[in-house]
């Protein structure tokens, strides 16, 4: 079951300064937000705080700029404009959260990218104390950043008068607990992406929890190479072939079926998508599943020539009778690209946090709320 966290519903917000850590790490091109899914996911918490009579202050990171420097491409100003349209309220955008004055008449404020602040990722004492001093209630509602022990995720919660979990954070925990702690079998996990090194420990964890593990994308190549399959010039982490062999053996011992590609779509001697027969093989356990977890594309879906594998698997998940949870930035983009957002039971806004929670790791931004949730 979900951790017993103090939530936004349980605190008095009237006339309070409420600082909400959001995950507005969204794709932006030419100063335009390309996917507003994470922003829309944050709206319930923002609206709840406003309706309760709070002055709402929002902060988030975007990308990985060098700390201490302002870069236009990582500015949250386009997000402020997008949020204004979505919530139909004025959003005051403040570039310098520590030095620019905040008017009591500004009901909704978005501060500039916290990663422009030197010391943010180091959980700097001065920075986190300043953030805590800017609020009466701190709300952690950025599940996608909950695995980061930064000033704006963990540090501020250590010193805030009151630190609580937001509605999106609670939804994420509840959905992932349902799929990982009390799933209805058969359970199928679909894991894709480029490099197996980023998800190896998750794979080892999943083989003990699921009935079938479907693997695609570039990460499948290392497993294929471990089986002696010729993968040509495809992406392969050769140094991890021994670990790949160990994973395949461990899956057999756990009686977890691992499904790998058996045919491919290639170009320049590189595997770029799964083939037609692989799609058929992958769809079969998806149809039979009662619980589905999906993270990562099955090919280079950004290119229409290599999007069919991911598209067909996404459609199969959407059409399944199973309870389905999908997460990860590329996964969200694929689901939106194929217009299937409404057909997935729960879409997680987390990427790294999603994977670490599945792996069973404690997320520091959740842990700190368990120790500093009181008044």
Residue 297 CA to residue 309 CA, distance in Å, equals 9
Mean pLDDT of 114-140: 96
Residue 243 CA to residue 249 CA, distance in Å, equals 10
Residues 137 and 251 in one domain: no
Mean pLDDT of 117-134: 95
Total tally of structural domains belonging to the chain:
2
Q: Is the pLDDT of residue 167 over 90?
A: yes
Mean pLDDT of 141-165: 96
Provide the CATH number for the domain around residue 180: 3.40.50.1260
Residue for token pair 């950004």: 302
Residues 150 and 288 in one domain: no
Instruction: Write the CA distances from 26 to 3, 73, 80, 283, 311, integer angstroms.
Output: 28, 12, 12, 30, 22
| Residue 375: predicted pLDDT | 47
Residue 115 CA to residue 153 CA, distance in Å, equals 12
Average pLDDT taken over every residue of the chain: 95
Q: Is residue 2 domain-resident?
A: no
Q: Is the pLDDT of residue 2 over 70?
A: no
Helices 241-254, 219-226: inter-axial angle, 10-degree rounding: 80
Residue 251 CA to residue 208 CA, distance in Å, equals 8
Mean pLDDT of 107-121: 97
Catalytic member of 16, 38, 199, 209: 38
Going by pLDDT thresholds of 50, 70 and 90, the confidence category of residue 328 is: confident
Catalytic member of 45, 166, 327, 329: 329
**Range in 176-185, 245-254, 289-298 the model is least confident about:** 176-185
Instruction: Write the CA distances from 256 to 33, 205, 214, integer angstroms.
Output: 40, 11, 10
Mean pLDDT of 149-169: 97
Take residue 297 and report the two structure tokens written for it.
């594309």
Residue 372 CA to residue 159 CA, distance in Å, equals 8
Mean pLDDT of 297-323: 97
Residues 224 and 152 in one domain: no
Backbone angles phi, psi at 56, to 5 degrees: -100, 125
Residues 110 and 222 in one domain: no
Residues 107 and 222 in one domain: no
Is 53 one of the catalytic residues?
Answer: no
Q: Is residue 367 domain-resident?
A: yes
Residues 131 and 185 in one domain: no
The DSSP secondary-structure symbol of 362 reads P
Is 352 one of the catalytic residues?
Answer: yes
Residues 367 and 325 in one domain: no
231 lies in which domain range? 173-359
pLDDT digits (tens, 9 = 90+) for 190-240: 999 999 999 999 999 999 999 999 999 999 999 999 999 999 999 999 999
Backbone angles phi, psi at 260, to 5 degrees: -120, 160
Residue 334 CA to residue 309 CA, distance in Å, equals 11
Is 311 one of the catalytic residues?
Answer: no
**3-class DSSP state of 214:** strand
Is 64 one of the catalytic residues?
Answer: no
Residues 122 and 243 in one domain: no
| Residue 95: predicted pLDDT | 97
| Residue 3: predicted pLDDT | 52
Take residue 186 and report the two structure tokens written for it.
């058969």
- E strands, 37-103, where? 55-59, 92-94
Residues 50 and 196 in one domain: no
Q: Is the pLDDT of residue 273 over 70?
A: yes
| Residue 373: predicted pLDDT | 57
Q: Is residue 1 domain-resident?
A: no
Residue 221: other Cβ atoms inside 10 A: 28
Q: What is the DSSP string of 149-200?
A: --IIIIIHHHHSS-EEE-HHHHHHHHHHHHHHTSPPSSEEEEE--S-GGGTH
Catalytic member of 40, 47, 161, 195: 195
Residues 85 and 156 in one domain: yes
Going by pLDDT thresholds of 50, 70 and 90, the confidence category of residue 187 is: very high
pLDDT digits (tens, 9 = 90+) for 137-148: 999 999 999 999
Q: Is residue 68 domain-resident?
A: yes
Mean pLDDT of 34-61: 96
Task: Find the length of the chain.
Answer: 375
**Distant-in-sequence, close-in-space partners of 80: CB < 8 Å, separation ≥ 6:** 91, 93, 110
CB neighbour class for 297 (10 Å; exposed up to 12, middle 13-18, buried from 19): buried
| Residue 68: predicted pLDDT | 87
- Residue 222's Cβ-side half-sphere holds a number of Cα atoms within 13 Å equal to 24
pLDDT digits (tens, 9 = 90+) for 63-88: 999 988 899 999 999 999 999 999 99
Residues 193 and 123 in one domain: no
**Distant-in-sequence, close-in-space partners of 207: CB < 8 Å, separation ≥ 6:** 213, 247, 250, 251, 254, 256, 258
Residue 245 CA to residue 44 CA, distance in Å, equals 45
Q: Is residue 327 domain-resident?
A: yes
Q: Can you give the pTM of this predicted structure?
A: 0.89
CA torsion sign for 118, 160, 109, 105 is negative
For the chain, helix (H) and strand (E) counts, in that order, are 13, 16
Residues 263 and 146 in one domain: no
Nearest partner of 260 among 295, 225, 293, judged by Cα: 225
Catalytic member of 47, 92, 246, 352: 352
């Amino acid at each position: 079951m979900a951790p017993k966290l103090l939530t936004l519903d349980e605190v008095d917000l009237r006339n309070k300064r409420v600082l909400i850590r959001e995950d507005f790490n969204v794709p932006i091109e030419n100063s335009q937000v390309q996917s507003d899914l994470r922003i829309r996911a944050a709206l319930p918490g923002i609206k709840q705080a406003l309706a309760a009579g709070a002055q709402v202050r929002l902060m988030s990171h975007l990308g990985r700029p060098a700390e201490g420097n302002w870069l236009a491409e990582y500015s949250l100003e386009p997000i402020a404009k997008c949020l204004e349209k979505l919530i139909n309220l004025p959003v005051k955008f403040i570039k310098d959260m520590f030095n620019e004055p905040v008017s009591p008449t500004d009901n909704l404020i978005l501060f500039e990218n916290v990663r422009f602040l030197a010391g943010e990722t180091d959980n700097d004492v001065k920075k986190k104390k300043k953030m805590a001093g800017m609020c009466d209630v701190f709300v952690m509602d950025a599940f996608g950043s909950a695995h980061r022990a930064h000033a704006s995720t963990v540090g501020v919660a250590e010193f805030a008068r009151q630190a609580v979990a937001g509605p999106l954070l609670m939804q994420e925990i509840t959905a992932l607990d349902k799929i990982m702690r009390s799933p209805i079998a058969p359970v199928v996990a679909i894991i894709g992406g480029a490099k197996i090194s980023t998800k190896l420990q998750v794979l080892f964890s999943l083989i003990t929890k699921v009935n079938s593990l479907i693997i695609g994308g570039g990460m499948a190549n290392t497993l294929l190479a471990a089986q002696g399959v010729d993968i040509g010039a495809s992406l392969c982490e050769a140094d991890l072939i021994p670990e790949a062999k160990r994973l395949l053996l461990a899956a057999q011992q756990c009686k977890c079926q691992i499904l790998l590609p058996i045919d491919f779509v290639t170009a320049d001697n590189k595997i770029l998508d799964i083939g037609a027969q692989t799609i058929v093989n992958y769809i079969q356990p998806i149809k039979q599943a009662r619980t589905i977890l999906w993270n990562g594309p099955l090919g280079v879906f950004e290119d229409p020539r290599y999007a069919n594998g991911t598209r067909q698997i996404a459609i199969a998940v959407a059409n399944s009778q199973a309870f389905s949870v999908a997460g990860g930035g590329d996964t969200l983009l694929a689901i939106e690209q194929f217009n299937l957002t409404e057909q997935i039971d729960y879409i997680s806004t987390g990427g790294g946090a999603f994977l670490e929670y599945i792996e069973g790791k404690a997320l520091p931004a959740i842990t700190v709320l368990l120790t500093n949730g009181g008044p």
